[in-house]
Amino acid sequence: MGDAEAENTLAGIGEFGLISRMTTGRVQPAGTLLGPGDDAAVVAAPDGRVVACTDVLVEGVHFRLDWSAPDQVGRKAAAANLADVAAMGAVPTALLVGLACRKDTAVETLTGLVDGLWAEAELAGVGVVGGDVASSPTLVLSVTALGSLEGREPVTRAGARPGEVLALCGRVGWSAAGLAVLARGFRSPAAVVGAHRVPEPPYAAGPQAALAGATSMIDISDGLIADLGHVARASGVLLDVRSRAFDMPARLVDVGAALGVDPLHWLLTGGEDHALAATFPGPEVPDGWTTIGAVRRGEPAVLVDGRLYDGGPGGWDHFAR
């Protein structure tokens, strides 16, 4: 390998060269008290608590670099974590990234990943405050997000009570439709393919819901029915989703018709859009939220129009046979 070529790979610039590209010229928000470059970062936790979560994305499993540009993968990895923070009713305060990749990974790819992480972090008002890079045959991105509850109690999955309303904020089914399009070898419509490449979680809706008295909340990452199942079990309630409550997007109807798929299936089981679902005492729900069902007494379960949904696999278990 010539020097010119090597300079364009991770092996050429080295671990510290990559870290420099990750950190140089980036602007940290005020809450980053000590940014990258030391053994650890220091981040403000104004109310004496910190919200923390980790999400792992693996090439070939969660993304394909022939289907998504590197910056889109970076944005998606950040979004998955930032949405988890929002789902506690918290505002994000920082990201850390563990990156494992091949030595011959192009610097352009790595720069794209990092630019994407930063772009999504900035959308949520935070910075990438630290991380680590390691050599690995498989590209793996492990992102940790931190957040602040701003003095509020966390909104967990366990607070839903019978008689409350179930509401949703953000898109569901779009990423699944985009994935179906890509899997058939198409690259359009751009709206659904773009939704698969870069989700648009409603970060501000998390704290908004907490302030409005949400009794439970969850990030829809594996599919609406699957994730509502966690709320049902944690809260000991039955959740009844009304399929007609959704505004079925015309775009999903069109894509469904073209691919021979009922678009309701994508809405109910598609993951990776990172919408937020929450329960409220009701009957009102905050602006931007849509009531999609009700909380009832009963064995923990998720029903659609009063029945168990049998339209296909109910969600996404990474290791299911």
Considering the complex, state which of residue 117 and residue 255 has its C-beta at the smaller distance from a copy of itself. Answer: 117
- State the Cα–Cα distance between residues 173 and 160, nearest whole angstrom: 24
Other CB atoms closer than 10 Å to residue 129's CB: what's the count?
A: 27
Q: Which residue has the tokens 């690259």?
A: 187
Residue 312, annotated as binding a ligand: no
Residue 157, annotated as binding a ligand: yes
Residue 132, annotated as binding a ligand: yes
Tokens linked to 36: 């990258």
**Among 87, 83, 88, 82, CA closest to 47:** 88
Considering the complex, state which of residue 121 and residue 264 has its C-beta at the smaller distance from a copy of itself. Answer: 121
**Least distance in Å: CB of 194 to a copy of itself?**
23
Q: Which residue has the tokens 């990474």?
A: 318
Residue 222, annotated as binding a ligand: yes
Tokens linked to 106: 């192009």
Is residue 291 helix, strand or coil?
strand
Residue 221, annotated as binding a ligand: yes
Residue 188, annotated as binding a ligand: no
**Among 203, 213, 206, 215, CA closest to 156:** 215
**Least distance in Å: CB of 73 to a copy of itself?**
14
**Least distance in Å: CB of 91 to a copy of itself?**
12
- State the Cα–Cα distance between residues 318 and 321, nearest whole angstrom: 9
**Least distance in Å: CB of 106 to a copy of itself?**
13
Residue 54, annotated as binding a ligand: yes
**Least distance in Å: CB of 288 to a copy of itself?**
19
Q: Are 158 and 235 in contact (CB under 8 A)?
A: yes
Considering the complex, state which of residue 33 and residue 308 has its C-beta at the smaller distance from a copy of itself. Answer: 33
Task: Give backbone dihedrals phi and psi of 311, rounded to 5 degrees, phi first.
Answer: -80, 5
Burial 76-112 (b: 16+ CB within 10 A, else e): bbbbbbbbbbbbbbbbbbbbbbbbbbbeebebebbbb
Residue 39, annotated as binding a ligand: yes
Considering the complex, state which of residue 192 and residue 295 has its C-beta at the smaller distance from a copy of itself. Answer: 295
Considering the complex, state which of residue 189 and residue 236 has its C-beta at the smaller distance from a copy of itself. Answer: 236
**Least distance in Å: CB of 4 to a copy of itself?**
14
Is residue 186 helix, strand or coil?
coil
Considering the complex, state which of residue 13 and residue 261 has its C-beta at the smaller distance from a copy of itself. Answer: 13
Q: Which residues are annotated as a binding site for substrate?
A: 62, 272, 316
Q: Residue ranges for the binding site for Mg(2+)?
A: 39, 54-55, 84, 132, 219, 222
Q: Can you say which residues are annotated as belonging to the binding site?
A: 39, 54-55, 62, 84, 131-132, 157, 219, 221-222, 272, 316
Annotation: binding site for ATP? 131-132, 157, 221
